[in-house]
Each structure stands twice: as C-alpha cells, then as structure tokens.
Chain A
Amino acid sequence: MAVETLDSTTRPKVAPWNDPVVRGWVFQIVIVGLVGLLAWFLVTNTLENLARQKIASGYDYLSREAGFEIGDSMIPYSPASTYARAILVGMLNTLKVAVLGIVLSTILGTLIGIGRLSPNWLLSKICEWYVEAFRNVPLLLWLFLFYKLISEAFPGPRQAISLLGSLFLSNRGLYFPVPLADPIHHWMAVGLLVGVVAAFVVKRWAKRRQEATGLPFPTIRAAIALVIGVPLVVWLLGGAPHHMSWPELKGFNFQGGTVIQPEFTALLVGLVIYTSAFIAEIVRSGILALNKGQSEAAMALGLSRAQSMRLVLLPQAMRVIVPPMTSQYLNITKNSSLAIAIGYPDLVAAVNVTINQTGQAIENILIIMAAFLTVSLGISAFMNWYNKRIALRER
C-alpha cells in the first residue's frame, strides 16, 4: 500500500522525517493502530454490556432447533431442523433469486438497450418508455405492486385457472407437473455437462475453421442441439421413464407437482424489470460509445443489422458495458433483501427471525454481512476476470 514515488536507486538521501516513504509508513501504522484501538474498545465495551444485560453471546445457537417453518426451500427443511440449516435455506433462496435475476435482467436489458437504438420509431419509443417508467419508481413499490397484482388478481385455489389440464394458476402460485425422482436424472445431469463441454469444443473448432477457410458454421444451433440433445439421448437410452407427479386439488391447496410461489415471482419480476431498465441504458451507451465507422464498416462488408450488432458492435461495446454491469449485478444481489417486504424467505428473513428468537443480533448480522460480502466479492472477481479477458489487446 506504500506510495513509492521515487525509484530507490535514484532517491536522494534525506532525513527520515522528510522521507515520503518513511512518512507514509508511519502514518499508515498510526492509523491502523487507532482503528485497532477503537475496534478493541467497541468490542470489549459491547461484550461487557451484553454480559451486564445478560444477553447471550456466541454461535452455540446455530446447532439448536429452529422451531419455525419456511415456506419455500430448495433443500429438505422442517421446524425440527437447526438454525444453521434455516439460515442455509435462506441463503440458497437468496442465491436462487440473484442468479436468475442476473441472467434474466441481462438478457432483457440487452434487448431493450438494442431496441432503443432501432431505426423503428415505435420500437425505440416503447423501449424508451420502458426504461423511464421502470427505473424512476423505487423498486419496493414495484415489488408491492406485483405482489398485490398476483395475490389480488388471481382466483383462489378452488377456482384456479387450469391450462392444458395440468398447469394451475391461482393466488397460491403456478402449479405444474414434474417428473418423479428417478436415478436416470443423475445421468442426465452428467449428459448436460458433457453437452456443454462439447458445445465449447465445437465453438473453438468452428472459429478456427472460419479463420482458416472462411467457411461459416451454425455454431449456436449446434450448441443448442448438443446441450439439449445429449441429456435427451441419455434419457432415451435409459428407457425414457416418464412417471410424473401431477398437481391435484386436495383440501385447501394443490398437492403434488411443484409450485412457483407468488412471493418468489413478484420478487424476481420486480428485480428483473427494475434492473433491466438500468442495464438497457448501460448497453445503449456502450454501443453509442463506439465510433460510427464501426457500424458503417460492418454495413460496407454486407453484414445484416443483426450480424453487425452481434459480430462487430456488441463485442467491442462489451469493454464499456462490463464494468458498470458489475455494479448492477451487485445491486440485484443486495436488492434481493427487499424480499422481506413481500414475504419471500430469503437470507435476511431467516436471519431476522433467528435474531428475534435468540436475541443475538450482532452474531447474526455478522453472518448476513459475511454472506453478502462473499457473494459480492465473488461477482466482482468474476466480472474483473471477464473484463480482463475481453479487454483490448494491443497487437
């Protein structure tokens, strides 16, 4: 962290208190010392206060029974599970929303951003309105609106709207059939992985061949065929087991199948619509930042508008787009904690209940901070790596 202003070999001899390097070090040590002292003071003082008020401390509670139910979980969970598991359930729910939110708002935002640049007046106006409408209203209001829309507009489960006789839409969410668990699913997952790897190999091969011979190859179609085809073949070879779990109205609710709940839908839709408005602007400005000569040159080569966007403009715009995109991805992750307002059981919800039951606010807030910090640093690291990879290489 020291600021090396001069090359050590050429540095003239000066008294240590005049030496900027020495001074830099001294200041830094003093600051670190002061911060450390303050931290020590705060921590000991807090521990004393907690003890005086007889508030429990430590992380023992994590292994105790949580006692509360969670409405949406990707892993087996019951009120008899531990607090640690309840928090893990919340963490996975947060990740689920963040990952889907990032993927969907990137796709939607890119389309809208490109749409705004379209020569088609209507399309570009619609995209402009979209951006202005969605990014100028606070996200929380969107969440409330979507949640109210779903819970008020859809009928109860007994009057559910049935689509194709097996999908059911009601204010309890969207119920649909899923295949019953079967060992073949593991092999299909392996097949999927193989398909993805094969797609990458094909892509590299096609690129080399095109560079060498100029022959184009339908890479995207081939990739899709591989990613879907390999697992499909595995399934067929495994005897194509097709037992399904069907949703059925039993008592109050549908049983069987699986469900996408209103809280999750409202949160995801809200996050995607709100963030994609920002992403659209980032994409648009990234493309506008390019020299006009780029699109003219692409056109002169006879590329279609779509081709010039995909092959010439977007790849170059990426260099401008990626850094601000990182902060949008971080925003999605952090904004997902608004889940609490509409009852989606995310990390913050699970931790808040834990705080309330155990009284241990500090320990629990440290868990939230550590979790969000890890995810955020992960996103930043990935985006920085990607940014380096696409950075302009001087040749």
Chain B
Amino acid sequence: MGRFLNAAAIGCVVLSVSGTAWAGKDLDTVKARGQLVCGTMEGTAGFARADSQGKWVGLDVDVCRAVAATIFGDSEKVKYVPLSAQQRFTALQSGEVDMLSNNTTATLTRDTVLGLDFGAVTYYDGQGFLVNKKLGVKSAKELEGATVCVAPGTTTELNLADYFRANKMTFKPVVIEKVDEVRAAFFSGRCDVYTNDSSSLYATRAANPPPPLTPEDFVVLPEIISKEPLAPAFRHGDNQFGDIVRWSQYAMVDAEENGITSKNVDEMLKTENPSIKRLLGVTPGMGKALGVDEKWAYNIIKQVGNYGESFERNVGMGSPLKIVRGLNALWKNGGLQYAEPIR
C-alpha cells in the first residue's frame, strides 16, 4: 500500500508538469480564458500590493495591466496570484500563471535551464542593505559577523553569499520564505541587516516598520552589490506571447519618449507626427504585426499610462517611496530606459 501511495504521489507531481501538454499555446490559452493570470508579489508597497479595497496596484501590476490591455483591450482582465520568491518559477513552469511580474531578476540560469524567457527590463535595480540607525553602521564593509535576514530562492540570497565571500567576511543568514515574516524578523531585531533589491528596501522602509518604529529609524547603506535588471518572465516556447509582453512594456516607454500621457492621448490621435500615428494605430500595421488590435498601444496609454506616469504614481515622487528615476530615467535624460523602435 505504501508503495502504491508513493507511486500516486509521484504521479501527482508529474501530472502538474505534464498538465501543460494539454494547455496548448500560451496566448491561445490566455485568450480562451478571457483573462491574464499574472504572478505577482506577496505585498511590496509601490511594486505590487493589494490596496484596502483588494485592488492590486503598483509598478509591477501596471505591467500585467498593459499586457491585458494589449490582448483584450481591457487592463482589468487580469487575475493576480501572489507568489513568494521561492514558489514563483515552479508556478510559472507548471502553468499556474501565464507570466511573472514580481521583481524577478533576469539571469542566464533562469533564461536557460529554468526554461524561461524575459521581457524588457521594467526596473533597473541593485541589491542593498537596510539597517537600524542605532547600529551606527555606515558601510556594508563593516558588516563582519552580522546576522542577515533574506528570502530564499532569490538572487539576493546568492549575491549575499558572494559578497561576503569576496570581502572575506562571515555572516549568519536567517532565511524565511514569507516576505512579511522576513520583515518581521528584521524589525524585531532577530537580524542586524535586511537585504533585498534596493527598490524593495525603500518600499519596506517606507511602508513596513511596525510602530513605534518609523522609517527614519532605518537607513539603506550606500553599497549596491549587484545588478538586478527586473523584467517580466514567461515560459520559453510561445514567441507571440513573449512579443506581446515585451512590446507592451516598450509602448509605455515609447509613449513617454513622445510625450504621450493618459491625459493627452486622445488629442494625440489627431497629431501629424508619423511615429505617434504608428504607435497609436492611426496608421495601421503595428497591431496586425503583433497579432492584436491596432489600438493596443492607445489602450495601454489610456488605461495604464506611460512609463513615467506609472513610475511617479507608484514609486516616484507621487508616492510615499519617493524613489528618484536614476537608472530608470529615459536614455535622453541620462537613464537606461530605452525602447526599441515601434515601426
């Protein structure tokens, strides 16, 4: 009997992966379902968090909404599935979600042996350290012997080990899967340091210290120890779906480059500028090439906004996080956001 149960259990695991065989192509599945299933985070202010009405908001959420706007003409046709860093790739591989938009770093391993592909970078990030000011630490180089809170299954966990090895320092990790529990352990003093992408550290500092602690009690150390290009991820295999994800993101950046916003997009329909006419579908062709409605980019800009609008509203000066554009400014303004031409 034991042997049989065992076989049945293996069967279940196997079944969850073989399940995708009947699912057909990803885009067809999404269309047939009438909804995009987007893997998101458990709750990080500014990036992806359910607000008091249970509505998901954030920079990452806007990427899901843009993709839904491209496919369905309606940015609300998204179901959000919160995933821990640990669960996310299995959820994507097994077809539980169509894509990830949850601060996932594009890396070679994930792109290859994990069987994933990445869209365009939605946020150029880097790993940092958050500490309580009381410790009096000024630099990450002073962290010898520290206890560090970190979430498992992240590039963060690996960079952390690399950084301490490279600097001949030691540390004790406290590794907890749920990000809320990691943060709680840090704020309770179980750890000296919390490490994550610095975007996430700013969000944690702004939104999560439990009273009587305040954001001012904490400081992000100056060292950035890694490159974290955060990009949407999807399964290797359906190139059309991949194209849609990538160009939806480019459309938002392109709109910002051309000064098109959610407010003025209707006026812009009347413009004589040929590249704006192409982007907004006044001159047809781009939608057909992608296999979607010609108004795809119009819908994104109207419903979600351009990249700059999304940035300022969610994580920039219009939000409690107050993150400066920095690397995420347009290339014209000295940043790295540079959309491939829509033509």
Contacts and interface: CB of A to CB of B under 8 A. Distances in A.
Interface of A: 35, 38-39, 42-43, 45-46, 48-50, 52-56, 67-71, 79-80, 148, 151-152, 156, 171-172, 250-253, 255, 262-263, 340-343, 345, 349, 352-353, 355-359, 361-362, 365-366, 369, 373, 377
B14 A46 contact: yes
Nearest to A68: B157
Contacts of A357: 109, 153, 158
Contacts of A49: 17-18, 20-21
B295 interface: no
A56 B113 contact: yes
B237 interface: yes
Interface string B176-205: 111001001100111010000000000000
Nearest to A352: B86
A188 B185 CA distance: 40
Contact of A69 (B171, B177, B190, B236): B171
Closest CB pairs A-B (n = 4): A356-B153, A359-B114, A55-B115, A79-B161
Nearest to A340: B177
A270 to B, nearest CB: 15
B14 A42 contact: yes
B237 to A, nearest CB: 6
Given A49-B17, A50-B115, A352-B152, A343 B175 contact: yes
19 contacts: A46-B14, A53-B115, A54-B115, A54-B236, A55-B93, A56-B115, A69-B164, A148-B184, A148-B188, A252-B145, A252-B146, A343-B185, A353-B152, A353-B157, A356-B153, A359-B89, A362-B13, A366-B10, A366-B13
A353 B174 contact: no
B10 A55 contact: no
A84 to B, nearest CB: 17
Contact of A353 (B86, B109, B143, B176): B86
B178 to A, nearest CB: 7
B174 A250 contact: no
A358 B175 CA distance: 18
Contacts of B213: none
B252 interface: no
Contacts of A359: 89, 93, 109-110, 113-115
Contacts of B177: 340-341, 343, 349, 352
Interface string B125-144: 00000000001000000011
A356 B89 contact: yes
Nearest to B145: A251
Given A71-B175, A359-B115, A362-B17, 8 more contacts: A68-B173, A69-B164, A341-B177, A343-B185, A352-B152, A356-B152, A356-B153, A361-B13
A80 B158 CA distance: 11
Contacts of A263: 174
Contact of A42 (B15, B165, B185): B15
B172 interface: yes
Given A49-B18, A55-B115, A355 B90 contact: yes
A80 B14 CA distance: 31
A53 B242 CA distance: 14
B195 to A, nearest CB: 12
Contacts of A69: 157, 160-161, 164, 171, 173
Contact of A171 (B11, B158, B184, B189): B189
Contacts of B90: 355-356, 361
B49 interface: no
Given A35-B7, A67-B162, A68-B158, A362 B14 contact: yes
A343 B235 contact: no
Contacts, number: 163
A156 B189 CA distance: 6
B145 A250 contact: yes
A143 to B, nearest CB: 11
Given A253-B145, A359-B114, A343 B13 contact: no
Given A341-B181, A355-B90, A50 B146 contact: no
Nearest to B176: A343
A151 B190 contact: yes
B165 A80 contact: yes
A39 B152 CA distance: 33
B235 A152 contact: no
Nearest to A154: B189
Interface string B91-112: 0011000000000000001101
Contacts of B171: 69
Count chain B CB atoms within 10 A of each CB in A52, A151, A343, A366 and give the residue with the most. A343
Contacts of A171: 188-190
Contact of B237 (A52, A353, A356): A52
B17 A50 contact: yes
B185 A151 contact: yes
A366 B12 CA distance: 12
B167 interface: no
B52 interface: no
B18 A46 contact: yes
Contacts of B157: 68-69, 353
B180 to A, nearest CB: 11
Contacts of B10: 366, 369
Contacts of B36: none
Contact of A361 (B7, B17, B85): B17
Nearest to A251: B145
B342 interface: no
B6 interface: yes
B2 interface: yes
Contact of B175 (A253, A349, A366): A349
A38 B11 contact: yes
Interface in B1-46: 2, 6-7, 9-11, 13-15, 17-18, 20-21
A50 B237 CA distance: 11
Contact of A343 (B143, B161, B174, B189): B174
A356 B85 contact: yes
